[in-house]
Chains A and B, each alone.
Chain A
Amino acid sequence: MKRIDATFKRLKKRGEKALIPFITAGDPDLATTKALALEMAEKGADLLELGIPFSDPLADGPTIQAASCRALKVGTHLQEVLKLAGELRQETEIPLILMGYYNPILQYGLEHTAQEARRLGVDGFIIPDLPLEEAGPWRKAAVAAGLATIFLAAPTSGAARITKAGRLTRGFLYYVSVTGITGARQALPADLVAALKEVRSLVKCPLAVGFGISTPDQVKGLAPYVDGVVVGSAIVQRVAILQGPELIKEVGEFIASLKEPLRGK
């Protein structure tokens, strides 16, 4: 968690915004995920989000569903994702955030997951099907382990819930740009900037925006209103069609192009 806070502080000082790429761990295999993660850290990612594959990812669109499927096919599970995080931690100090649905975490054990995650160098968790109301038991385990639980706010949340999420979240608040599921989109909602301005006025913590963001132009348009931008499906789409060195190179270049508009002047 300290790494997340330190990262946002450092970027702020430099007038920079965070690039937070997401990929599904184990898609198409863990070795590729590791290589991709290191390449992204090298080419401009400021924090990394690794997805824990799940059989029923109900907040995800077709792109990440398919990635989850590919990862499950090669037998990827939570313990392996934690182990991968540990290996990455040997080679980089970039903040590592695991994103996964609640049931696999619940089955592995809330405390067990949190303690293992901490031991291996994970900094935080995003659990998309764990709203504020249900998060008590997990938060307790996460706090004890010094892990950040990053909450989401959505266009439907309303001011009261956003304020509460801003108070309870650690690391940053993740604002969901669209009323909908994950997936790259051609156009973002017309009222997104206005929504981000409102969220900004309601919360003190760092604010990141994600869901649907897929091009450097979109990143550029949002950068002034947030502290970080999450890009997922647009990267996962590349993982789906490319392989080997070509994939690593392409993703590295894509990351660099997304980071460009986030660098300070």
Chain B
Amino acid sequence: MLPDKHGRYGPYGGRFVPETLMPALLELEEAYRRISRDKEFKDEVAWYLKDYVGRPTPLYFARHLTEALGGPQIYIKREDLAHTGAHKINNTLGQGLLARRMGKKRIIAETGAGQHGVATATVAALLGQECDIFMGTEDIRRQRLNVIRMRLLGARVIPVESGSCTLKDAMNEAIRDWVTNVRHTHYVLGSVGGPHPYPMIVRDFQSVIGQEAKAQLHRVTGRLPQCLVACVGGGSNAMGLFHAFYQDPVRFVGVEAAGHGLKSGHHSATLVAGSTGVLHGAFSYLLQDPWGNIQEAHSLAPGLDYPGVGPEHSFFKDSGRAEYVAVTDKEALEGFQLLSETEGILPALESSHAVAYLKKLAPQYGPDDLIIVNLSGRGDKDVDAVAQALEVSGEAH
């Protein structure tokens, strides 16, 4: 199974980091290989996932959405019901426990939507770790509620004012902090990007999503799905859903953010519209200008507002194992409304991208076909932004 010993997925991945961090990455890789095989550690992770996170999350047959779309049977993997409201906790819990085993007393993380920051702060509170979260000032403005949640959990939120003041810049700053404090700090990277071994570690901790979904669907229908759909920011919820089905004849669709439209230049569709290069320690697809400077991404969904993507997705794209598409802010908002109104579930704006693409997929399938869509998070954090975009009033009249 990939990655190879250089942390490569085909040509993608690797470890393009300052020398100061190389020993830490090698140490992390070694520790992860040793600890993740340890039965006690596995039991510990499993126990927390069940009793603390609330796993397994349901695989819900969305009857009304299925009827509304008039095609295949839609099953929703309810990561929004995991503790803290998104899939991010699967990874932060695993890495938090790993950090504890490695004797690192402080954890840091970058965050865009704030979901990964909240999930990291949560685990830090649970495990008694010191916690600093780097967050772009633009995202702090957009995701106030999550900033407050992190502070209530005892984390420090460190505003990042460089570049576009969003996720990419928060990640730069987290890496700079890690370079400085590497001896006693573990960096809890939030998606399947960054230098090896992160894409592997995060994928492994998130792959519980697909393992559960596969067993759950089999229990109910006795079958494999025809297709899996998930949104792709860095790509962790998508990889987490896909991975258990890697060897199966199942179509993978990753949905990126087309923002104001691919032609507008204001989007985050790294795989659909980007080119290959090195960002944040990995060779992968990214958004860049002709001189190799990283371009600012745009999406209404802060968790997708990132100009890079995990290297294994780049490998999946080139090999054809997965296909990647993009939907606009406007389409995502329609997806948000569709799920809210048909099923009584407010999806995160990120997840709304995956829901929105179901409209385009449905006509390609018949009533016997099964599709699993990953509902990576709940929409509470986005209510302000959605209300503004859809002009929903919160006033008395």
A59 to B173, CA, bound (A): 10
A16 to B283, CA, bound (A): 42
Asked if B183 lies at the interface with its beta carbon under 8 angstroms from chain A, I say yes
B15, B183, B293: the one within 8 Å of A72 (CB): B293
- Which residues of the partner chain A approach B279 to less than 8 Å between Cβ atoms? 56, 103
Residue pair A133, B22 in contact (C-beta under 8 Å): yes
A-B contact count, CB below 8 Å?
Answer: 117
Asked if A188 lies at the interface with its beta carbon under 8 angstroms from chain B, I say no
Asked if B182 lies at the interface with its beta carbon under 8 angstroms from chain A, I say yes
Residue pair B163, A155 in contact (C-beta under 8 Å): no
- Which residues of the partner chain A approach B163 to less than 8 Å between Cβ atoms? 55-56
Asked if B233 lies at the interface with its beta carbon under 8 angstroms from chain A, I say no
Binds A, one of B43-51, B55-63, B95-103, B284-292: B284-292
Q: How many residues of A contact B (CB 8 A)?
A: 41
Instruction: Check A154/B20 contact, CB under 8 A, given A55-B293, A106-B292.
Output: yes
Can you name the residue of chain A whose Cβ is closest to the Cβ of B291?
A77
B20, B175, B293: the one within 8 Å of A156 (CB): B20
Residue pair B292, A105 in contact (C-beta under 8 Å): yes
- Which residues of the partner chain B approach A130 to less than 8 Å between Cβ atoms? 16
- Which residues of the partner chain B approach A134 to less than 8 Å between Cβ atoms? 14-16
Residue pair B278, A106 in contact (C-beta under 8 Å): yes
> A55, A72, A154, A181 — which one has the most chain B CB atoms within 10 A of its CB?
A55
Can you name the residue of chain B whose Cβ is closest to the Cβ of A53?
B293
B18, B23, B288, B290: the one within 8 Å of A58 (CB): B18
B14, B290, B294: the one within 8 Å of A56 (CB): B294
A108 to B264, CA, bound (A): 25
Asked if A61 lies at the interface with its beta carbon under 8 angstroms from chain B, I say yes
A78 to B176, CA, bound (A): 24
Can you name the residue of chain A whose Cβ is closest to the Cβ of B14?
A134
Residue pair B172, A131 in contact (C-beta under 8 Å): no
- Which residues of the partner chain A approach B16 to less than 8 Å between Cβ atoms? 102, 129-131, 134
Nearest chain A CB to B189 CB, angstrom units: 13
> B176, B181, B182, B277 — which one has the most chain A CB atoms within 10 A of its CB?
B176
- Which residues of the partner chain A approach B6 to less than 8 Å between Cβ atoms? 133
Nearest chain A CB to B18 CB, angstrom units: 4
Asked if A157 lies at the interface with its beta carbon under 8 angstroms from chain B, I say yes
Asked if B345 lies at the interface with its beta carbon under 8 angstroms from chain A, I say no
Residue pair A156, B23 in contact (C-beta under 8 Å): yes
Which B170-185 residues have a C-beta within 8 angstroms of A? 172, 175-176, 179-183
Asked if B342 lies at the interface with its beta carbon under 8 angstroms from chain A, I say no
Asked if B281 lies at the interface with its beta carbon under 8 angstroms from chain A, I say yes
> B6, B20, B175 — which one has the most chain A CB atoms within 10 A of its CB?
B20
A204 to B59, CA, bound (A): 62
A130 to B21, CA, bound (A): 11
- Which residues of the partner chain B approach A102 to less than 8 Å between Cβ atoms? 16, 278
A79, A105, A132, A181: the one within 8 Å of B180 (CB): A181
Asked if A229 lies at the interface with its beta carbon under 8 angstroms from chain B, I say no
Asked if A8 lies at the interface with its beta carbon under 8 angstroms from chain B, I say no
A54, A58, A165, A181: the one within 8 Å of B293 (CB): A54
Instruction: Check A157/B180 contact, CB under 8 A, given A58-B172, A103-B288, A106-B278.
Output: no
Nearest chain A CB to B241 CB, angstrom units: 29
- Which residues of the partner chain B approach A158 to less than 8 Å between Cβ atoms? 23
Asked if B24 lies at the interface with its beta carbon under 8 angstroms from chain A, I say yes
- Which residues of the partner chain A approach B288 to less than 8 Å between Cβ atoms? 103, 107
Nearest chain A CB to B209 CB, angstrom units: 30
Asked if A149 lies at the interface with its beta carbon under 8 angstroms from chain B, I say no
Residue pair A154, B292 in contact (C-beta under 8 Å): no
Can you name the residue of chain A whose Cβ is closest to the Cβ of B180?
A180
Nearest chain A CB to B65 CB, angstrom units: 40
Asked if A146 lies at the interface with its beta carbon under 8 angstroms from chain B, I say no
Which B279-329 residues have a C-beta within 8 angstroms of A? 279-281, 288, 290-294
Nearest chain A CB to B357 CB, angstrom units: 30
Can you name the residue of chain B whose Cβ is closest to the Cβ of A135?
B16
Residue interface bits A118-146, CB-to-B below 8 A is 1, else 0? 00000000001111111000000000000
A154 to B20, CA, bound (A): 5
Residue pair A157, B18 in contact (C-beta under 8 Å): no
Residue pair A129, B180 in contact (C-beta under 8 Å): no
Residue interface bits B5-21, CB-to-A below 8 A is 1, else 0? 01000000011111111
- Which residues of the partner chain A approach B340 to less than 8 Å between Cβ atoms? none
Which B130-180 residues have a C-beta within 8 angstroms of A? 162-163, 168, 172, 175-176, 179-180
Seen from chain A, the residues whose Cβ lies within 8 Å of a Cβ on chain B are: 54-59, 61, 65, 72, 77-79, 101-108, 128-134, 151-158, 161, 165, 176, 179-181
Closest 7 CB pairs of A and B: A107-B292, A104-B292, A55-B293, A77-B291, A180-B180, A154-B20, A103-B292
Excluding A56-B168, A107-B288, A134-B14, 11 further A-B contacts by CB distance (< 8 Å) are A58-B172, A59-B20, A77-B293, A79-B291, A104-B292, A105-B292, A156-B182, A157-B22, A158-B23, A176-B19, A179-B180
Seen from chain B, the residues whose Cβ lies within 8 Å of a Cβ on chain A are: 6, 14-24, 162-163, 168, 172, 175-176, 179-183, 277-281, 288, 290-294
- What are 5 inter-chain pairs, A to B, with CB distance below 8 A? A56-B163, A104-B293, A133-B22, A156-B183, A161-B23
